[in-house]
Amino acid sequence: MSGSALALPDRDRAAAGAIGVAADILRGRRVAVLTGAGISTDSGIPDYRGEGAPVRTPMTFQQFLADPDYRRRYWAGSHLGWRSFSSARPNAGHEALVDLERAGVVNGVATQNVDGLHVRAGSRHVVDLHGSMDRVRCLRCGQSYARASVAEQIERRNPWLDEPGAVVLAPDGDVEVTDVARFEPPSCTVCGGVLKPDIVFFGEFVPPEKFAEAAALVRSADALLVAGSSLVVNSGMRLVMQAVRRRLPVVIVNRGVTKGDTRAAVKIDAGTSETLTALRERLV
């Protein structure tokens, strides 16, 4: 059997064909982009809903507010997670979107991620639907902090976190603090109030002004490209339905099934980095 195309596995052959169809659909159109956790997996940030992801029960906003023990547990894990977040770097998928924006193909990115990688990659018009981990605010007085300064406060209050055995790394890459009761969470240096990362917790709603910004991207576009989102979270599916109502073509790139597959003009079952890179080559 000869020919590289014939040598490809069936799944990869199907993806390659779908990329060509997607490029034909998007060519000459102004494209709004919605991204989810799948775009950041190649930067070392796990996708909690993708194929093979472990089942998790995230902390709700109500739990965080009501119980100091929940806040200790959250901040301990969040601080250790922040170390990974802050060291992560944009990948080829993020960079492809930057190039597409510079070329005038993409009008902006609405992201469900809180890792800040789109901004670090150089995207200019980014709507953080669920906030960003690099900002922290006080729930009492509203004072805002850079996450790095809060991380320094946590490390000063909890030097024991660096002791051998204080932190256990699980096989799936998660972290567990062995003595949460010992952990001293950060507090507002202005009023002493409770601090919370400026992100949307489970049990909270996306701020209306943020969703309005994302909706405006879709309204000013001729197509919607979804990259790395299963569309389980309602904010993402609402944007897809807005595009569908306007009869805009929707292209979905995601490993595995998404809630929007039946609404898509084309679904590409492949990784986001390689797919967005291939689309850039065809559209720029």
Q: Which residues are catalytic?
A: 130
> 194-233: buried (b, 16+ CB within 10 Å) or exposed (e) per residue?
bbbbbbbbeeeebeeebbebbbebbeebebbbbbbbbbeb
Phi/psi at 122 (nearest 5 deg)? 120, 5
Look at residue 276 and give its three-state secondary structure.
helix
Rounded Cα distance between 69 and 179, Å, is 11
Nearest residue to 65 (alpha-carbon basis) of 157, 139, 145: 139
Question: What sign does the CA torsion over 268, 272, 276, 277 have?
Answer: negative
Rounded Cα distance between 240 and 219, Å, is 11
Phi/psi at 130 (nearest 5 deg)? -110, 20
The three-point CA angle 183-132-227 to 5° equals: 125
Token couple for 80: 């250790």
- In contact, 223 and 253? CB cutoff 8 Å: no
Nearest residue to 137 (alpha-carbon basis) of 201, 89, 60: 201
273: how many CB neighbours lie within 10 A of its CB?
23
